[in-house]
Amino acid sequence: MTADRIALVTGANRGLGRSTALALAARGVRVVVTHRGDVAGAEETEQHVHAAGGTAAVVRLDISDVSSFGAFTSELSVLLGRWGASRLDIVVNNAGVGVFGPLEAVTTDDFDTVFGTNVRGTFFLIQSLVPLLAEGAHVINVSSSLTRHTSPATSVYSASKAAVEALSRTLAAELGPRRIRVNSIAPGPTATDFNGGAMRDDAGMRQGLAGQTALGRVGEPEEIGDAIATLASDGLRWMTAQRIEVSGGALL
């Protein structure tokens, strides 16, 4: 990777998004850090990138608000212009939400929130960004190992991520003539603040999940960020329409 490449990472104010932004920046990629409202977190990511000698900028984006995408892409175009560019080379759709509960507890609002953000938001953001994607760009959609195995009270979240994987395969075919690759990456149990930070802070949960992985532990966010950055590299330029799981061998 060279320093003239530019990546957009959604939800890069924390967790996997931040780790991805830092991993890309470490490989010489300039990074657009988006957040839904956590300005301090996004600016902290930006500061980490700058401290490591990289280039980053912060832009607000709520992927559940499709009506805001026009204004967002206009702002993004201005930012790219300040960097002497007009195109994005990498898009990482990391931002998403999880609402968990057993069948009888899930409400229509819960369902609509998860699908409206994880599926509808992701799809229409890609649609909005297509005019800004460079020839040979790469779109990476973050899924979950839960599309392969099951866990109690995760039905709606898992279904939304399965939809993201289906979108990724179809969009890979649609965008292939422009040499744009589209893949999905499926993290397994990872120690982030997602879902209240349970996998990071609950020692009992960590121990239980560790016993279900081939490598005997839960993942660290840096390991997912490195995997995404590797997937975005030219070393995997012949890979598209694939689901890549990064789970330490969870529930084999």
Domain ranges of the chain: 6-246
The mean per-residue pLDDT over the stretch 77-99 comes to 97
Q: What are phi and psi of 178, to 5 degrees?
A: -95, 10
Identify whether the C-beta of residue 189 lies closer than 8 Å to the C-beta of residue 224: no
Encoded amino acid at 15, one letter: G
Give the integer Cα–Cα distance in Å for 249 and 121. Answer: 30
Query: Is 86 buried (19+), middle (13-18) or exposed (0-12) by CB count in 10 A?
Result: exposed
Q: Does pLDDT of 139 surpass 50? A: yes
Q: Reduced to 3 states, what is the DSSP secondary structure of residue 129?
A: helix
CATH of the domain spanning 6-246: 3.40.50.720
Tally Cβ neighbours within 10 Å of residue 2: 9
**pLDDT confidence band for 200 (50 / 70 / 90):** low
Q: What pLDDT does 195 receive? A: 59
pLDDT(177) > 60: yes
- Residues annotated as catalytic (active site), given as ranges: 157
Helices within the chain (DSSP H only): 15-26, 39-51, 69-82, 108-115, 122-129, 155-175, 198-201, 203-210, 221-231
The answer to whether 9 touches 34, Cβ cutoff 8 Å, is yes
Q: What letter does residue 116 receive in the DSSP assignment?
A: I
pLDDT at 1: 42
Confidence label for 198 from pLDDT (cuts 50, 70 and 90): low
Of the chain, the percentage scoring pLDDT greater than 70 comes to 94
**Which tokens hold the place of 223?**
């390991």
- What is the per-residue pLDDT for 219? 93
Average pLDDT, the chain: 94
